[in-house]
Chain A
Amino acid sequence: MNGLGIAGLRLATVSAAVAVSVATVRADGSTDEVSALRAPDSRVEIGGGHVDSDNGNFGKYTGLNEQGEYLLLDADINRREDDSGSWLRLRVRNAGLDSREIRIEQERQGSWSYYLEYNEIPRFEPLTVTTGVVGIGGPNLSTAGAASEVEFESKRKRLDLGLTLNSLASSKWGFSFDFRNEEKKGERIFGVGTPGGNRFNFTPEPLDSTISLIEGTFRYTDRKFQFAGGYYGTMFRNDPKALTWDYGDANLLALSPLALPPDNESHQVHVSGGYSFSPAVRGTFKAAYTLATQDDTFILPSVSGRTDLGGRIETTLLQAGISARPMPNLSITGNLRYEDRDDRTPVVQYIVPAGANNTWDGFNEPRDIETTHGKLEASYGLPGGVRAIGEVQYEKKERNTFTYRSVSHRDTTEEMTYTAALRRTMSDTLTGGISYAHADRFGSDFRQNILFNSNAAGSNVFAPLHYADRQRDKVRVSLNWFPTDPLSLQVYVDEISDRYDGDRDGSGGGPRRGEQRVFALDAGYRFSENWQGSLWYNRNEYRWENAIPGVAYDTSSNEGDSYGAGLRGRLHARLEAGVDLSYSEVEDRWNQESLSGVPVPSQLPVATTRQARLNLFGNYTLEENSGIRFDYIYDQYSTDDVTWGGWGPGGTGSYSDGTVIREPSPQKLHFVGVQYFHRFQ
């Protein structure tokens, strides 16, 4: 049951048991107890669990999403031959669940190692889908008329393997090889729509793709100089390439077929290294060149005459940095990073516009992005274990554009960030820091948007959120206070305020403000040697303001409170137990303030999401090396989010084929699990 995050006491149990058993180590160290203390531990757990009701949220990633019984099987086996330094490690997690994984690893420490891992990552769709669409999971969809509830699921099956050789020509040279093959199969909620008659069809997307990652790296390591260089390749293969449907709806039939993600791949060669000029001065660097291509065959003929895009992106990365302590109390670091993403895809006219005054001309639009980032930081040690830190960062982005656009563009954005901070780390009772940063983003003049064929002026109103001038202020305070030995307190405050100049015409439109505020309080208390407890609270606030001139001033906000409490300890010489409780309540609000003089017809409803979980667990020792583990979870989830509330027949918006999608709320469930565990060496 590791995957549920409910096995926190496991190691504490082992450690405590061992600690008790060896409280009296003989002076000569030749006892079995000492051997036991230095030999790796292993553990096997087997048992069963019961979920009392179907749920969408709790079991989304574990497979505990349906009422029923489940096999619980975990193992963590570690064997070492002391004479040779050979390790054998076997880890099995959630073997009885859809989130099962197994990893085997063998190693001759200091010489070689290899591993093999199989991992299943499921995602069970928490929404309920009632549909008459048939062919779900495949490339050709149709409707049968009679609707029924259909389960949606996708699963990644991942196979990893790796090999490491630590001594090639000498102990300073090593090589590592890693390979991953990940198959993803299933289906996901998807749809198409057209304003023509406001028609929307439910067209589930089939998922049947493979991702491969392969990496080989040579390393050189000595006391002063470390170097790594190698190859990193990635590959994506997808099948099918197109999705078709025929629900007898002429408006939507015109959208079929729909292009699914094309095959693509990348190949990178890279070198990186570090050199310690002295114990106080070190430099590092990285250089990499990546070629990414996409030349999958088009699903339909193109008027361009091309049968594929011929996509080709070359990315060059250069990075160099240095850190130094020129004086005992002074540390300086500097870092420079340059990345040039050069999209060399052939520019071809794929569509021939029929009329004038378009915001497009039918050519594809390869995207070049050149990023330069520099950072310089100085840190000076003051009395009392306090450090004063000053930092300057600069980032410049250069992006290409095309003659005709529907989004405004400037060639260059630059951002300067200044940070001042005080930190105290070397103290038994009070550590923490306070920092203030101010960032100013600006850039070149925006280009005029013009329209195809007429070259008349287009709309030139908005600065996109990642292009717009921005003033950012950021304050962060963190304190760790240990007023008495058993009590610890943590306070964390983080506040960011962004002011955008998001309009281009003085209209006050575009991005206006962004805010983020995080407050966290933690307390921990050790009641005795056997009992400890903790409390925590989080307040997260986010706010985004954007204006559409003459229409509305929009404010999106997300405010959440989260609470947690934990208690764990020893109830009896044989029984360790604990409880964790968490609760969160998050509100999303969307406010539209009319700028047209005409009142907004109706405000959007507030969405409130609540989650609560109670987790009880215990370990009862039967014999020295075995026992029973008990878990109980109560989980509750509710939301009144309207995302899918009105989306179906009877609502104002509906999938034209009759498909109804809903998010069940509230969801409540109880889980009980019992496992027998055995420890050994």
Chain B
Amino acid sequence: MRLREHFGIFCATFLVLATWFSPPVSAQDNKRPDLVLKGDAACTRCHNEGSEFPVLAIGKTPHGTGADARTPTCTSCHGVSETHVRKPRDAIERPRPDILFGRGSPTASHSQDAACLSCHEGGKRMHWSLSMHAGRDTTCTSCHQVHAQHDPVRDKTTQAAVCLNCHKEQRAQISRPHRHPILEGKVACSDCHNPHGSAGPKNMVRDSVNDTCYQCHMEKRGPFVRSHQPVQEDCSICHNPHGTTLPSLLKIRSPFLCQSCHEPTGHRARLAQLGIGSTGANFEARGCMNCHTQIHGSNNPQDLSNTRGLRR
């Protein structure tokens, strides 16, 4: 009897002390508490900020906003990953998570994307599955840093550097003297392109190249009394929006650009030459536009002094 009493007292004392001195535990189980996301204790017991793959910074991001019921858990994106959490006895190395992102991932690109698209498939990502990026195995994490508060591709001052990692031609072009203010962070790649795919050509944010340009250059839209056909069709016939050494971001300098379409009669067939002379000032200053000033179209209904040629 005394033995049982002593044993009961010992057990009660142990329980009180254990409860008093033990760390806070989850109400659901007796394991480590979650640090950022629901159920992340299994992950954060290894992945703290001192580990090779720190994860806690996700708490600084919308993905780490626990009050939003839609906030994912670690396993929402990486899969349950049972063998990664509990390394099998016979495994020499710890198996990777079920879904792994980034370079060298064995997870198929569409499976990586599916983890993100399970929440983000609508809106501006509606056309992702048909985009060139998706078709060339460019995954969401090829561009986005999901665990960081500052995702460079979502900041217009740092976005271009991410895009130019692959788009090497544009890396040189955006530094040309005639360009958009991309380096200054006043225009971002995503002002014109939707990298997630769109119904327009070249991933344009609007339905056409022109509609995209009109967002800032609406004075070129017209229609005009006197229109210029390529202007109405596609701005990029004459302009390279990423930058050139030619004024107005022209692809080819006047008069050679103009002479690539216009029938070679009269002054249209003249040689390019410095100065004015008999050749008509077609190379210096504004080139052919020294006279044909309204090259994008004119809304002047009169024709005084033969000005119908986009001259006033």
Contact = CB atoms under 8 A, between A and B. Distances in A.
A520 B171 contact: yes
A630 to B, nearest CB: 19
A284 B126 contact: yes
Given A462-B262, A540-B169, A373 B201 contact: yes
Given A8-B158, A198-B276, A226 B229 contact: no
Contact of B32 (A29, A219, A258, A542): A29
Contacts of A274: 121-122, 126-127, 129
B77 to A, nearest CB: 16
B264 A549 contact: yes
A362 B225 CA distance: 10
B82 interface: no
Nearest to A401: B229
Nearest to A222: B122
B229 A367 contact: yes
A607 B245 contact: yes
Contact of A609 (B54, B109, B123, B177): B177
Contacts of B223: 264, 292, 294, 309, 311, 313, 343, 345, 366-367
Contact of B33 (A28, A57, A99, A309): A28
B224 A191 contact: no
Contacts of B171: 520, 536, 538, 562
Given A121-B181, A339-B208, A592-B272, 18 more contacts: A15-B57, A34-B56, A86-B67, A93-B157, A126-B177, A193-B281, A255-B304, A258-B293, A258-B294, A309-B224, A323-B129, A339-B207, A341-B232, A364-B225, A426-B104, A426-B105, A458-B265, A601-B271
Given A302-B301, A586-B245, A110 B260 contact: no
Contacts of B59: 37-39
A272 interface: yes
Given A209-B219, A258-B294, A83 B277 contact: no
Nearest to B214: A234
A190 B289 CA distance: 9
A306 B135 contact: no
Interface string B214-235: 1110111111111101101110
A341 B173 CA distance: 31
Nearest to B176: A586
Contacts of B298: 259
B269 A548 contact: yes
Given A195-B280, A234-B214, A601-B271, A387 B149 contact: no
B19 interface: no
Interface in B92-143: 103-106, 108-110, 114, 118, 121-123, 126-127, 129-130, 134-137
B23 to A, nearest CB: 4
Contacts, number: 471
Smallest CB-CB A-B distances: 9 pairs: A38-B59, A652-B275, A85-B67, A261-B219, A226-B122, A302-B301, A520-B168, A61-B181, A428-B104
A258 B246 CA distance: 25
Contacts of A465: 237, 260-261
B299 A3 contact: no
A5 B183 contact: yes
Interface stretch (B5-13, B44-52, B83-91): B44-52
B136 to A, nearest CB: 7
A369 B130 contact: no
A38 B64 contact: yes
Contacts of A61: 181, 184, 186
A301 B300 CA distance: 9
A129 interface: no
B279 to A, nearest CB: 9
A604 interface: yes
Contact of A306 (B33, B109, B244, B301): B301
Interface in A52-103: 57, 60-62, 78, 80-87, 93, 99
SS of B interface (majority): loop
A428 B103 contact: yes
Contacts of B293: 190-193, 258
B150 A423 contact: no
Interface stretch (A17-25, A135-143, A437-445, A618-626): A17-25
Given A4-B184, A544-B252, A367 B177 contact: no
Nearest to A284: B127
A300 B302 contact: yes
B307 interface: yes
Contact of B23 (A24, A28, A39, A652): A28
B29 interface: no
Contacts of B45: 27
Most A Cβ at <10 Å: residue of B126, B166, B187:
B126
B175 interface: yes
Most B Cβ at <10 Å: residue of A276, A290, A478, A643:
A643
Interface in B147-188: 148-150, 152, 157-158, 161, 166, 168-169, 171-173, 175-177, 181, 183-187
B168 A38 contact: no
B181 to A, nearest CB: 4
A126 B247 CA distance: 11
B274 interface: yes
A440 to B, nearest CB: 19
Interface string B247-273: 100011100100111111101011111
A638 B267 CA distance: 33
A330 to B, nearest CB: 12
Nearest to A11: B150
B256 A556 contact: yes
Interface residues of B, number: 139
Contacts of A37: 49, 56-57, 59-60
Interface in A377-434: 377, 379, 387, 389, 399, 406-408, 423, 425-428, 431, 433
B243 to A, nearest CB: 10
Interface string B57-86: 111101011111110000000000000000
A284 B54 CA distance: 37
B186 A3 contact: yes
Interface in A193-228: 193-196, 198, 200, 209, 211, 213, 219-221, 223, 226-228
Contact of B275 (A4, A62, A86, A653): A653
A538 B281 contact: no
B291 interface: yes
B299 A262 contact: yes
A28 B263 contact: no
Nearest to A283: B129
Nearest to A86: B67
Contacts of A492: 168
A484 interface: no
Contacts of B251: 542, 544
Contacts of A317: 199, 207
A2 interface: yes
Contacts of B219: 209, 236, 238, 261
